Structure 1
Amino acid sequence: TDEPKGLLSLPESERDRLSEALQILLATGSINGVDSNRSALYHWCRQYFEWLKEIAALSGLDVALIHEERLIQAIPRTAALRLRLKQEETLVWLALWYAGDVRWRDEGQDQAFLSVAELNDLIRDQLLPDATGPIPKGRLRDILRMAARFNLIRFEPAEPFEESGIEVLPAIRRIIPFRDLAAWTETAATFHRESDGENPSEDDETSDTGEDEP
């Protein structure tokens, strides 16, 4: 009987596509078919999803195909592949999760939009009410770009920076998988305690993305 075809027997062009998909999943945690630069690859991955699952498994990843979001999401099998966030990054991502949850769950909106100014207000009011000032603009810009790279938000920079637009994407619910707002509040409370004088940790592991920040 003929042996089943494996990944090594694929044509070179298909192996190149598969390699590209795996590299993107390892670097950013997902492939977003809404992105015009990723649309063709997303459709290729849908067509050959079993190949993608096989090669991802060899790298320690499960993959999920979320049709309604046109997204292919990587799910690490081990802690070694999870993204480790520094404190300010964790803070911003928690605030983005909260903003999305309020708009989707409480307000019944289909999309979750806010400005950088509203994000800063949210961080101050909900996470660090006793903070002396907002996160520096340059640092916040970098954190938002990182979140966009992981397909957690769409980010539209503007001048002044506070008017920059943010759309929180549903993928953030899987990357920061709180069961409900009460679970979020419990985590957010750690920032209140740290602002009262406790020593913050260097890193807070909060998300199951493809790999450490590239």
Structure 2
Amino acid sequence: MTDATTAWNTYSSQRPERRPVNAAGEATWFNWTQYTDHGPDAGLLDLQSGDRVLDLGCGKGGNAAHLAVQGMTAVGVDISPVQLRAAEERWGNTPGLQLRQADALSYLREGDDPFGAVYSVYGVMWFSDPSVVLPAIRERLRCGGVLAFSQRPAVEGCYGCQASYISRGEDEDPLIVKRWDYEPEDWECLLRKHGYTNTRAAVLGAPPGRRKIGTLIVQARA
């Protein structure tokens, strides 16, 4: 299995930068899906100005920066220094934004300050064993706080731990990381098993005229 830092540094080089503005002309915005200007906004996190929120696998920082601009204290954690360098270059002067290079589970376990919400957009929740990461997140959520995450829906019949491939050069084998896939109802069961309530999981369809792959969006409360 590929070292996580190497894998996500490689992945970072393949990802385009976030556009200067979205379709509404906004310089910061929240995007849960793989499609631009599509899907719900940060309201899923049920935050108030001044709340602390944690982005697990923040990548280049756009979602966390948006929450900071909205008045939250937004902590973005990522294992990749390449991802975080890009985040610092674009968003590093944003008041309320804190960027940390760390393994997500280590970060969760080593601190004790509570968060009003924890989220992952195609990030740590997709690439971590839920039996390990769900309890760790719950320990860091305040009572009633929200966990929300998004990722691609599972392929029918392919559930649990899967191999996920990150392309490299034409003459190089892809890098391999683990990911975890489940149907929406199975995610709800897993969340309830680990003490979460108000669980909701559903697949949001792709925008009209786009590819047919939707986005799995999951929400629960501690």
TM above 0.5, yes or no, is no
Give the TM-score taking structure 1 as reference length: 0.28
Task: Answer 1 or 2: higher relative contact order, Cα 8 Å, separation at least 6.
Answer: 1
Give the TM-score taking structure 2 as reference length: 0.27
